[in-house]
C-alpha cells in the first residue's frame, strides 16, 4: 500500500473516531498502531503479510514507548498538576481570589476583575486551563450572581479567565509542545509571560468597558463584611511566592523547570501545613487527582508519539513541503492559512488533541521558513487558548456550565465569553505582528 495513501487513511480514521467522541488517546493510539502494522505488513507492490509486519511494528512501538517514558522533562507534569491540587486544598487560590475581591471592589465590575485576576494567579500555579475554570467557577460565579451580576458577565469572565492557564507559566501545553518540538521549556515558559499578561490586561479592560456600557450588569453594592486591606494584601503572598519560584527561578537560572516544579510543590505543602489547611483527606484527594490527570495526559502524549513515528515513516511531511515549495507562497499567506486552520479545528477538538495531531505537519513548515519555533509555540498556544471558549465545543464553556447554578444557561456562558473572544483575537494579531513580545524575555534571560 502506498505510504501517502496509508497516511491519509489513518488521519481520516483518527478524525472520524474523534467525531464519534472516542477518547483521544484511544483514537490516536489505535490508529497509529494499526497504521504501523499495515506499513510494515503491506509494502508497495507486495501482498499483505500481517505476521511479517508484526515484529517490526511491535519493536518500533516498544522502543518509542521506552524512549517516551524516559523523557526527563515529562517529570514536571505530575509535579505541576500536584502543585495545583495542593494549592487548591490549602486554600491558596481561594485566598488569592478573596484578597483580589477586596482590593478591586470599588472598580466597575470589581468582582469580575477579581475573578479574572484570580484565574491568572491560579494559572500561574497550576498551568491547567480546565482546572482553573473548574475551581474559579465554583468560587467566583455564585458570588457574582449573589451580588446581582448578570449571568453572562459572571460566567463569561471566568470562562475566559480560565484560558490564561494556556499561556501563563507553568503551562502544561507548553511542556507538551516543548517535548514534541525539542524546544527549551525554559524559553517557552518565559515567552508566555508577556502574552499572558497582555491577555489579562485586555480581559480587565473588556470588563471595564462592559460595565461602563451596561452598568446594570455589575451593580455597585455595599459589601457586608468589614474591609481589612492589610489582611487582603497578606492573602496574596503565598500565590506570589509560588509564582516567583517558577518564573523568577527559571529567569534567573536558579532552577530548571522540573526543579522549580518540585520546589514549589514542597513550598505549597509547607504553607498548607503551617496554616493548618491540609489534612490527610486533602492530601489523598490531591494525590489521586494528580495520578488520574497525569495518566490521562501521558496516555495522550504516548499515543501522539506513535502517531508522529508513523507520520515520519510515511514521509508525507517531506512530500507536503516539496509541494509547498513548488507553489512558493509568501510567508504571510502560509501563516494566515495556519492560523485559520487552528481556529477552525479549535471549534471541534480539545487543546491537547489539536497539539499532538497538528505539530507533525505545521512545525516542519515553519522550520522550512526559518521561523523561531519558540515564537510559533506562543502563537499555537494562543490559538488553542481561543479554542477553549469558541463554539461549538469550547471546553471551558462546558466546564463552567457544569460547576455553576442551573440558572446560568449554556447560551449565556457562550455569549458572555464572546466579548472576551474578540479581545483574544486582537492580542493574537498583536503577537503575530510583533514577535518581540514573545521573544524578548527568553532572549534577555538566555542571550
Do both 24 and 77 map to the same domain?
no
- Residues 330-340: pLDDT tens digits? 999 999 999 99
Do both 210 and 61 map to the same domain?
no
Do both 219 and 131 map to the same domain?
yes
Query: Following CA atoms 342, 345, 346, 352 in sequence, which dihedral angle do they give, to the nearest 10 degrees?
Result: -90
Q: Which domain holds residue 31?
A: 1-70
- Number of structural domains the chain divides into: 2
Q: Choose the final residue of a domain: 70, 88, 110.
A: 70
Do both 258 and 275 map to the same domain?
yes
Do both 186 and 47 map to the same domain?
no
Asked if 373 and 357 count as a contact pair (C-beta separation under 8 A), the reply is: no
Kindly give the interhelix angle for 351-368 and 331-345, rounded to the nearest 10 degrees: 170
Asked if 284 and 82 count as a contact pair (C-beta separation under 8 A), the reply is: no
pTM: 0.85
- Residues 77-97: pLDDT tens digits? 888 888 888 888 888 888 888
Share of residues in the chain with pLDDT > 90 (%): 23
Do both 35 and 153 map to the same domain?
no
Do both 269 and 401 map to the same domain?
yes
Do both 7 and 89 map to the same domain?
no
Do both 87 and 156 map to the same domain?
yes
Do both 254 and 108 map to the same domain?
yes
Question: How far apart are the C-alpha atoms of 326 and 372, rounded to whole Å?
Answer: 23
Q: Choose the final residue of a domain: 70, 102, 117.
A: 70
Per-residue confidence (pLDDT) for residue 227, from 0 to 100: 59
Q: Which residue has the higher pLDDT, 275 or 122?
A: 275
Question: How far apart are the C-alpha atoms of 296 and 45, rounded to whole Å?
Answer: 40
Confidence class for position 345, pLDDT limits 50, 70, 90: confident
Q: Choose the final residue of a domain: 16, 43, 70.
A: 70
Question: How far apart are the C-alpha atoms of 353 and 28, rounded to whole Å?
Answer: 9
Confidence class for position 198, pLDDT limits 50, 70, 90: very high
Do both 28 and 153 map to the same domain?
no
Residue 352 lies in a domain: no
Q: Where are the beta strands (DSSP E) in 224-333?
A: none
- Residues 233-258: pLDDT tens digits? 888 888 889 888 888 888 788 888 88
Report in angstroms the alpha-carbon separations of 71 from 59, 65, 76, 142, 308.
Answer: 19, 10, 10, 42, 16
Do both 63 and 115 map to the same domain?
no
Amino acid at each position: 500500500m502506498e505510504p501517502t495513501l496509508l497516511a491519509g487513511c489513518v488521519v481520516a480514521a483518527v478524525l472520524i473516531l474523534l467525531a464519534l467522541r472516542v477518547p483521544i488517546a484511544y483514537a490516536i493510539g489505535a490508529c497509529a498502531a494499526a497504521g504501523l502494522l499495515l506499513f510494515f505488513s503491506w509494502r508497495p507492490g507486495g501482498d499483505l503479510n500481517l505476521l511479517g509486519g508484526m515484529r517490526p511494528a511491535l519493536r518500533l512501538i516498544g522502543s518509542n514507548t521506552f524512549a517516551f517514558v524516559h523523557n526527563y522533562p515529562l517529570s514536571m507534569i505530575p509535579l505541576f498538576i500536584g502543585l495545583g491540587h495542593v494549592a487548591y486544598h490549602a486554600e491558596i487560590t481561594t485566598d488569592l481570589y478573596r484578597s483580589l475581591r477586596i482590593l478591586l471592589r470599588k472598580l466597575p465590575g470589581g468582582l469580575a476583575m477579581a475573578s479574572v485576576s484570580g484565574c491568572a494567579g491560579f494559572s500561574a500555579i497550576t498551568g491547567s486551563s480546565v482546572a482553573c475554570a473548574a475551581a474559579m467557577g465554583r468560587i467566583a460565579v455564585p458570588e457574582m450572581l449573589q451580588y446581582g451580576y448578570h449571568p453572562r458577565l459572571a460566567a463569561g469572565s471566568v470562562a475566559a479567565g480560565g484560558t490564561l492557564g494556556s499561556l501563563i507559566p507553568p503551562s502544561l501545553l507548553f511542556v507538551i509542545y516543548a517535548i514534541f518540538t525539542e524546544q527549551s521549556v525554559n524559553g517557552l515558559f518565559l515567552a508566555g509571560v508577556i502574552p499572558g499578561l497582555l491577555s489579562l490586561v485586555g480581559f480587565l479592560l473588556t470588563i471595564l468597558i462592559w460595565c461602563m456600557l451596561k452598568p446594570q450588569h455589575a451593580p455597585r453594592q455595599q459589601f457586608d463584611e468589614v474591609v481589612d486591606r492589610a489582611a487582603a494584601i497578606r492573602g496574596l503572598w503565598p500565590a506570589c511566592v509560588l509564582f516567583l519560584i517558577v518564573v523568577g527561578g527559571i529567569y534567573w537560572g536558579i532552577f530548571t523547570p522540573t526543579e522549580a516544579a518540585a520546589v514549589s510543590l514542597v513550598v505549597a505543602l509547607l504553607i498548607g501545613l503551617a496554616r493548618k489547611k491540609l489534612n490527610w483527606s486533602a492530601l489523598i484527594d490531591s494525590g489521586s487527582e494528580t495520578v488520574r490527570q497525569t495518566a490521562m495526559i501521558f496516555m495522550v502524549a504516548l499515543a501522539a508519539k506513535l502517531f508522529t513515528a508513523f507520520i515520519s515513516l510515511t514521509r508525507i511531511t517531506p512530500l507536503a513541503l516539496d509541494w509547498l515549495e513548488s507553489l512558493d507562497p509568501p510567508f504571510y499567506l502560509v501563516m494566515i492559512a495556519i492560523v485559520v486552520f487552528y481556529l477552525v479545528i479549535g471549534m471541534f477538538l480539545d487543546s491537547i488533541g489539536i497539539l499532538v495531531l497538528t505539530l507533525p505537519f505545521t512545525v516542519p513548515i515553519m522550520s522550512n521558513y526559518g521561523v523561531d519555533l519558540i515564537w510559533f509555540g506562543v502563537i499555537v498556544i494562543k490559538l488553542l487558548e481561543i479554542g477553549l471558549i469558541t463554539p461549538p465545543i469550547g471546553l471551558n464553556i462546558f466546564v463552567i456550565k457544569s460547576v455553576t447554578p442551573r440558572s446560568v444557561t449554556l447560551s449565556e456562558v457562550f455569549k458572555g465569553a464572546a466579548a472576551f473572544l474578540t479581545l483574544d483575537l486582537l492580542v493574537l494579531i498583536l503577537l503575530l505582528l510583533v514577535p518581540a513580545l514573545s521573544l524578548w524575555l527568553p532572549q534577555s534571560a538566555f542571550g
